Amino acid sequence: MLKNKVALVTGASRGIGRAIALTLAGYGAIVIINYCGSKEKAEEIVNQIKENGGTAIAYQADVADFEAVKTMFSDITKEYERIDILVNNAGITKDNLILKMSEEEFDAVINTNLKGVFNCLKQASRIMLKQKEGRIINISSISGVVGNPGQANYCAAKAGVIGITKSLAKELGSRGITVNAVAPGYINTDMTAVLKDDLKEKVTELIPLKRLGEVEDIAETVAFLASDKASYITGQTIQVDGGLGM
């Protein structure tokens, strides 16, 4: 489905990003595993993809750092000459109620979750406009659609991701580039592992499909949006949330 497509997945050393990287590679894409933390974990995924007959490399860059992102895209195009798929997945949380939320907590989340997306979009757009084709998938969150107490920073960033998705879909559509967002609900990852069991039970009760999502639920949606099968879909936010945010 994605044979020899060059795909960059940000924050791909664990969780949803890791699953997206493995899934895209499984469909034949050459995958660049962007990571900010553990090199070891990123290399593990590269090895797993190679063992399965695929192609991948790990690349360290903080998505919030404009210059580091610029260098990353320049290095990717030097090596592979193009970039077909960009998945903006890197994200963090720093939850607090508004009266307790520090300026640092607000800025950190906006810088990674929203400015990080802008930084990558700016570089990818330049390349994809020249190619006259490309697929961009931004990972938002249902929290960006419906809001969440204690997450003003995160929800603002994730709502911003939906806005930037729609804007770029309109800006880039005439040049064969689609831009969509995926908004996960509660997915079983390290990010949600911190939630207490009784809260998880309460949330599960509210989800029409009565389970938390799995990383593969998100990864397969991303792979579909990256494929030719989704060539007439742009500017959309697909909620993959078991029906929680409808």
Q: List, as residue ranges, the binding site for NADP(+).
A: 11-14, 89, 154-158, 187
* E strand or H helix that includes residue 193: helix 190-193
**Which residue of the set 35, 59, 154, 186 is catalytic?**
154
Binding-site residue positions:
11-14, 89, 154-158, 187
Q: How far is the CB of 73 from ligand NAD (least distance, A)?
A: 14
Q: Is 186 a catalytic residue?
A: no
- The CB-of-108 to ligand NAD minimum distance in angstroms stands at 9
For ligand NAD, the closer CB: 13 or 234: 13
- Where along the sequence are the contacts to ligand NAD (CB under 6 A)? 10-11, 13-17, 34, 36-37, 62-64, 89-92, 112, 116, 139, 141, 184, 186-187, 189-192
Distance CA(58)–CA(45), nearest Å, equals: 9
Residue closer to ligand NAD, measured from CB, 51 or 190: 190
Question: CB 192 → ligand NAD: shortest distance, Å?
Answer: 4
Q: What three-state secondary structure class fits 165?
A: helix
User: Which tokens belong to 42?
Assistant: 């990123």
The 10 Å CB-count burial string (b at 16+, else e) for 59-78 is: bebbbbbeeebbebbeebbe
**Of 11 and 134, which has the nearer Cβ to ligand NAD?**
11
Distance linking the first and last C-alpha atoms of the chain: 30
- DSSP states along 204-222: HHHSTT-S-B-HHHHHHHH
Q: From the CB of 52, what's the least distance to ligand NAD, in Å?
A: 21
137: left (phi over 0), alpha (psi -120 to 50) or beta: beta
Give me the active site residues, please: 154
